[in-house]
Amino acid sequence: MFQQIPQYEEQMTIDPLQGNQEAFDSCKHVYYNTCTTSPLIDKYFTARPYHHDFDMYCSFKLNPNATKTIFITGNSFVYFQIRGILDAIKQAKTEFSEAFVIAHPGCSLIAGDLNPVVTDCAIMNGSHDKILDIVKPDIIIHSSRISQFVELGNQTLVHDRFYHEFEKSILHLTNYTDRLILIEPHPHPAGSTNYTNPLAIAHAIQNNQSLTHFRIPIADFRRIHDSSWDRVKEVAKICSNCVLIPTRHMYCENDYCPLIDPKTKIARFCDEAHITPKQSVNYVSDLIKAIDYEDEENKLIS
């Protein structure tokens, strides 16, 4: 079993008005701005979709004496989760010389041909092969929204075209690394509530308004989420070097998935689709376990 790692926590409790303002400010730009141009990425990864403020094609220089490398890929989730992901990499016992990052909004490397042509994401299919073959990362971390690729309500877990695209793409990725870490997508507030950003929470608190409507019914979350993630979990059963990071327990209670932390009253989301950098810190402990420890029988971090 994985060794117990102390929970990574922030220092102190702050006023929710101040906390939500700080959460809003932290969402304005990528949390870590030390991701620099990578000559390897520029040379070997040229099939890129349209430019977007949330895309990332760069690398973080880490321990120059280390021999291992790590690769982070996904969609815009990576842009907003990079604080937690990079904190975990830096705190892990395993040391890396460099963390390469390739992420683009709307595109998912594990979705294969399910990526839509209309958004240019279709060109991502197979586009990472050359850079991965050159870098040969010891670990790949992937985080992306995938519910948009599977028909809503398609809960019957069968080996259909959705499953086969996930299977083909995930198993293909594992050819380039010793370990593929897949982070479960978090709830997606868009369309479920009138939530906009952390300032909406601050405004409600300031006006003594109820916060109970800032939540997603668990039934709605499962209807949107399960049909895609369950297929990924099914693929993981036949993937010897895949590790899954569940996140549902970090967001959802028995009947609802609150968009704010019930204890601090601070927003968990930057907007209708992405978590705050502070929320990504909750991923650190499980990511460290996945990076550092071997457990052939437990491919689900808990």
For residue 189, what pLDDT is reported?
A: 84
d(CA 185, CA 188): 8
> Does residue 59 sit in helix, strand or coil?
strand
Measured CA angle at 176 (ends 172, 180), to 5 deg: 80
**Position 23 in a domain:** no
How many structural domains are present in the chain?
Answer: 1
Query: Residue 79 belongs to a domain with what CATH number?
Result: 3.40.50
> Does residue 142 sit in helix, strand or coil?
strand
For residue 178, what pLDDT is reported?
A: 97
**Position 160 in a domain:** yes
Regarding beta strands 96-103 and 68-74, do their DSSP bridges make them parallel or antiparallel, or are they unpaired?
Answer: parallel
**Residue range(s) defining the domain that contains residue 100:** 32-191+217-256+280-292
Q: Does the predicted model carry a pTM greater than 0.75? A: yes
pLDDT in tens, 152-200: 656 666 778 888 999 999 999 999 999 999 999 999 887 667 899 999 9
Residue 149 has pLDDT above 50, yes or no: yes
Residue 5 has pLDDT above 60, yes or no: no
- CA distance readout (Å), 137 to 41, 128, 178, 219: 13, 12, 8, 38
Which residue has better confidence, 300 or 288?
288
Place of tokens 């457990």: 295
Please classify residue 83 by burial: count the beta carbons closer than 10 Å to its beta carbon, then call 0-12 exposed, 13-18 middle and 19+ buried: buried
